[in-house]
Amino acid sequence: MGDVSPDDGMWVISTSLFEKDESIFQIKTHVFTESALGGGLNDWLPQIGDRKLRIWNPDDGSAAPGQPQVEYGGADGREDRLRAQCHCGGVSFTIPRPNEDDLASPAISSFLSPIDKTKWVGSLDICDDCRGTSGSHIMAWAFIPLDRCEPKIKPDLLIGTSKTFISSAGVLRSFCGRCGATVFYSCDERRPNDRENVVDVAIGILRAPEGVKAENWLIWRTGRIANYESGLRYDEALATSLSESLADWGREKYGQNLNFTIG
């Protein structure tokens, strides 16, 4: 929710925790965009209302991203895998591509891309709960069967340095207890059994070699933002601008504005 510099004692806090009041806080700048390999949120939120957002990166090149490596796993060691790992490395696992069992499962197939069955779905969410638990106006989620992750992760979501909490009835969330990164969202209604337990994975921890949007692994739903009405009540200008720019990106990327039901 915030951090403090050991050098000058200056705090940086998450403005998402406060009621929107532009006389106190106003979003003006995307910072460290060079760290977002392949382009990040600035692609989808270039402005809020009629206010164009500035871009800032340090002059010394320290924002340059690392280059994640292609990984393989599975029983034969040749299965294409995507690494998910928090900032400190205390939570780390890999995700495979959808397989035939996923396609055959009604509980899982509804979470697969409608235009490319080799990819999962990415979606933005601007609900009050995600904002309050992550400290971010906007959350990005991918939807993955927990049983497909390596190493195996139980329904309690505990792996490595992760900690969990119940954010509302039937909803379990996890985060890294050391660096604070958001990791999983799980709800009872998506858990018919252990094999078909579909969870949300925070896209911010994915280490896709092509970039932070993980476009070789995800198809993004660009025609709808999850819990849009909730975000609209909190910050109408941001929600509206995000929706419009995301749709424009989708038309440019996919040739259409993808609007489909997830789950």
Average pLDDT value for the chain: 94
d(CA 207, CA 88): 13
Using one digit for the tens of pLDDT, what is the confidence trace for 18-69? 999 999 999 999 999 999 999 999 999 999 999 999 999 999 988 988 777 7
- All structural domains of the chain: 2-56 (no CATH), 71-254 (2.170.150.70)
In one-letter notation, the amino acid at residue 189 is E
pLDDT at 171: 96
Find the mean pLDDT for residues 8-24: 90
Helices (H), 83-149: 100-104, 106-109, 128-134
DSSP-assigned letter for residue 172: E
Using one digit for the tens of pLDDT, what is the confidence trace for 62-108? 898 877 777 776 666 667 999 999 999 999 999 999 999 999 999 99
CB-count burial class (<10 Å; 0-12, 13-18, 19+) for 22: exposed
Of 10-14, 49-53, 90-94, 138-142, which gets the smallest average pLDDT? 10-14
Query: Band of the pLDDT at 197, cuts 50, 70, 90?
Result: very high
pLDDT at 61: 87
pTM: 0.92
**DSSP three-state, residue 201:** strand
- With a CB cutoff of 8 Å and minimum separation 6, the contacts of 254 are 115, 219, 222
